Amino acid sequence: MSVSSDSPAADFDPQEYLDPANSANPQPFWGRLRSIGPVVPGLFGQVQVVGRPEVEFALQNPQIFSSAMDAVDLGQKRPLIPLQVDPPDHVKYRRLLDPIFAPREMARIEGDVTELVNNLIDSFIDRGECEFGNEFAIPLPSAVFLKMMGMPISDLEMFLQMKDGIIRPQGADLDEIRDNQRGWAGRIDDYFSSALKEREQDRRDDLLSRFLDAEVAGEKLSEDEILGMCFLLLLAGLDTVTDTLECDFAYLAQHDDARRAIVDNPELIPSAIEELLRWETPVTALGRVAAVDTELAGCPIAKGTKVGISLGAANTDHDAIPGADEVDLARNPNRHLAFGGGVHRCLGSHLARMELRVALREWHRRIPEYHVAPGTNLVYTPGLRQIEQLPLVFGSRPS
C-alpha cells in the first residue's frame, strides 16, 4: 500500500511487529494500529488488516483473500490441508476432518487428558515451583497430539525441533531462513512418509491409519494429501495450545483477582477461556494473499499481495466489542476471532478448548495460589506468542 507523507501511517515502522515489547503487551500496539486505519503497512511490503469489520470480511471471502500456499511459505512442497486449500475443494477435506475433531470425539478422550494433566502436576507440585512451559504447557498438548497420531512419546523432542524449525526458523537473513525451513520441511515429510509405509503393513488405532483408509469424494487420499494434513497437524498440535496455556497462565499469575475468581467459581472456566483467548490472542495474525485486484477500506490491494489478518487487533477493537479494553471473565456473548473465521476457522478448536478447560480446572483445584517468580522478565515471541521462560512459584505472592 502506498502511504502519503501526511498519513498517520507515515510514522509507522513495520519492524514494530517484531518488537518483543509489543509482543509482551500487545493490546496498546493493536490499538495504535487501529488508530492509523483499518488497513496498515505490513512487513516485507505486505498490508495488515486490523479493523474488526475488515478482518471479518477478509476471513469470510476466500475468493478474494485466499489461504492458498502463496499466502504463507513455510518451506513445504505441498499445501497444508485443509488450511491452504480454498473452496470448493476445501469442503471435501473438512467433511473428512471435522468429525475427527468434533466435540463428541473430544469428550471421549477428556478422561485421558485429565489423567495426563494430573500426572504432570504430580511431577512438580511438591517442589512448590515449576518452569511452566517445559513442565506443563509443552508436554500436555504434545502428548495428546502424539497419542492421536500414533507416534511414540520418545520422538517428542525431535517433533519439537521440527516444529520450531518451521515456525521459528533460524537464519542470518531471509534466504537462510527459507533454506532452513525447507530443510526441516523435508525432515517432516521423510518422517511421516516412513510412518505411512509402516501403517500400510500394520494398521493401528491412530489418525495415520484412519487417513490411509479414508475416502474423499469417493477416492482414497494420496500420500501427498496425507502428508499435507500431517504437516499442518504437527504445527498446530505442538504449538498453538502451548502458546495459549502460557499466555493464559502468565496473565492469571499476574492478576490475582482473575485467578481467585476461577478458584472460587470453577463454573467460570469456560467463559474465562474464551475471554483470555480474546484478550491474549496467542495466534496474533493469519496470512492471506489477494486472489484478485481489490480494495479494502479504501486501500487498493493488487493481486498477489500478501495480506496479514490481525486477529489480535480485531479482538480488541472497542468500536465492535463493548468494553474491549477490559478483561471480563464472564463476558457473554464473546464473539472473538482467536480461532479465525469463515471456512478456514480452526479445525482443532474443540480439542484446544477441551485441553484448556481441563488444564485450568485441574490446576486451580490443586494449585490455587501461584505467581511469577520474582525478578522474572517475561519475553514473548512475535506472531505466535510463546513465552521463552515462565517460572511459577506456588503459594501466596510475597508482600
Q: Any idea what the Cα angle at residue 123 is, between residues 103 and 115, rounded to 5°?
A: 25
Place of cell 505472592: 397
Q: Which amino acid is at 97?
A: L
The closest of 333, 114, 356, 395 to 248, measured between CA atoms, is: 356
- Judge contact between 259 and 162, C-beta under 8 A: no
Three-state SS at 100: helix
Give the domain CATH number at 257.
1.10.630.10
Chain Cα centroid distance, residue 237: 9
Q: How many CB atoms lie within 10 A of CB 234?
A: 21
pLDDT value at residue 175: 87
Q: What is the DSSP letter of 384?
A: B
| Domain assignment present for 5 | no
- Judge contact between 317 and 337, C-beta under 8 A: no
Q: Which amino acid is at 7?
A: S
| Domain assignment present for 6 | no
Q: Distances from the Cα of 359 to the Cαs of 57, 188, 243, in angstroms? A: 34, 29, 13
pLDDT value at residue 286: 96
| Domain assignment present for 3 | no
pLDDT value at residue 1: 52
- Judge contact between 18 and 382, C-beta under 8 A: yes
- Tens-binned pLDDT, residue by residue, of the chain (399 aa): 544 444 555 578 889 999 989 999 999 999 999 999 999 999 877 999 999 999 999 999 999 999 999 898 899 999 999 999 999 999 999 999 999 999 999 999 999 999 999 999 999 999 999 999 999 999 999 999 999 999 999 999 999 999 999 988 888 888 899 899 999 999 999 999 999 999 999 999 999 999 999 988 889 999 999 999 999 999 988 899 999 999 999 999 999 999 999 999 999 999 999 999 999 999 999 999 999 999 999 999 999 999 999 999 999 999 999 999 999 999 999 999 999 999 999 999 999 999 999 999 999 999 999 999 999 999 999 989 999 999 999 998 887
Three-state SS at 27: helix
| Domain assignment present for 4 | no
Number of domains in the chain: 1
Q: What is the per-residue burial (b if ≥16 Cβ within 10 Å, else e) of 108-137?
A: ebeeebbebbbebbeebeeeeebebbebbb
- Judge contact between 189 and 227, C-beta under 8 A: yes
pLDDT value at residue 188: 95
Measure the CA–CA gap between 331 and 30, rounded to whole angstroms.
Answer: 21
- Judge contact between 211 and 195, C-beta under 8 A: no
| Domain assignment present for 10 | no
- Asked, as a colleague might, if the bond just before 99 is cis with ω within 30 of 0, I would say no
Report field, pTM of the whole predicted structure over 0.85: yes
Q: Which domain holds residue 187?
A: 16-394
- Judge contact between 199 and 209, C-beta under 8 A: yes
Place of cell 517484531: 18
Contacts by 54-58 with C-beta closer than 8 Å and gap 24+? 54/296, 54/297, 55/309, 55/310, 55/311, 55/313, 55/314, 55/337, 55/341, 56/314, 56/337, 56/341, 57/296, 58/288, 58/296, 58/307, 58/309
The closest of 140, 144, 146, 175 to 162, measured between CA atoms, is: 146
Q: Distances from the Cα of 231 to the Cαs of 40, 192, 268, 318, 339, in angstroms? A: 31, 9, 35, 36, 19
Cell of 229: 494434513
| Domain assignment present for 2 | no
The closest of 175, 191, 269 to 230, measured between CA atoms, is: 191
pLDDT value at residue 254: 97
Cell of 389: 521462560
